[in-house]
Structure 1
Amino acid sequence: MADITDIKSIVYTEKTLGLQEEGVIVVQTSPKVTKNQLKAIFKEYFGVNPLKVNSLRQSGKVKRFRGKEGKRADFKKFYVKLPEGANIESLSA
């Protein structure tokens, strides 16, 4: 079962700030979270029932540091459409 700790952060970029004006929030999570689990998290912790949830898996980039190769962590990104007038505060507790 997914939990609020599976949500890593809300993504704030130029593109996502534009989407927020339309009521869409972009959330970065661990790769194991599903759409239904994310809907349940939003309903339980934020009291908001999302209208629509789209997901995308993103593989971590391969990077080099001082000649050694490493890989960033994989993650999942969710685009969550909220009902009109609903507002989500920051996840920092």
Structure 2
Amino acid sequence: MSANAQHYDVIRKPIITEKATMASEANAVVFEVAIDANKPQIKDAVEAIFGVKVKAVNTTITKGKAKVFRGMRGRRKDVKKAYVTLEEGNAIDVTTGL
């Protein structure tokens, strides 16, 4: 597997919410990442894919909720989010797509 494909396995998709938009004002971008990805992997992937310098990576894991759909009990998947703070002068426009 090529190095570029590994980077795309680490970063799943950008998250565009009200909270993520507020974080972008502080030069940060929010991504959904693989649940087993660690901070150095996330930093390398963002720098390789977008060509920017990463200052810091903060992660959070949101546990999946138990839900009922058509009478069947189920559980949503756990989601890991990465708040990637970029160095001054660097920017990522997540609205254009990868």
Could you say which structure has the higher helix fraction? Answer: 2
Instruction: Find the residue that maps to 1:33 and give its secondary structure.
Output: coil
* Alignment coverage as a number of residue pairs: 93
Q: TM-score, normalised by structure 2?
A: 0.83
Percent of aligned positions that are identical: 33
Give the equivalent residue in structure 1 for 2:61.
57
TM-superposed deviation, 1:11: 1.2
Contact kept? 2:10, 2:41, Cα under 8 Å: no
**How many angstroms apart in 2 are the aligned matches of 1:72 and 1:92?**
25
TM-superposed deviation, 1:3: 2.0
Contact kept? 2:9, 2:34, Cα under 8 Å: no
Q: TM-score, normalised by structure 1?
A: 0.87
Q: Which moved more, 1:82-91 or 1:27-36?
A: 82-91
**How many angstroms apart in 2 are the aligned matches of 1:92 and 1:60?**
26
* From 20, 24, 38, the counterpart of 1:20: 24
Q: Per-residue displacement from partner, 1:56-86 (whole Å, max 9, x unpaired)?
A: 1111111101111111111211111101221
* From 38, 44, 49, the counterpart of 1:45: 49
TM-superposed deviation, 1:92: 3.1
1:1-93 matches, cutoff 5 A: 2-90=6-94, 92-93=97-98
Gapped regions of structure 1 (runs ≥ 5): none
CA RMSD in angstroms comes to 1.8
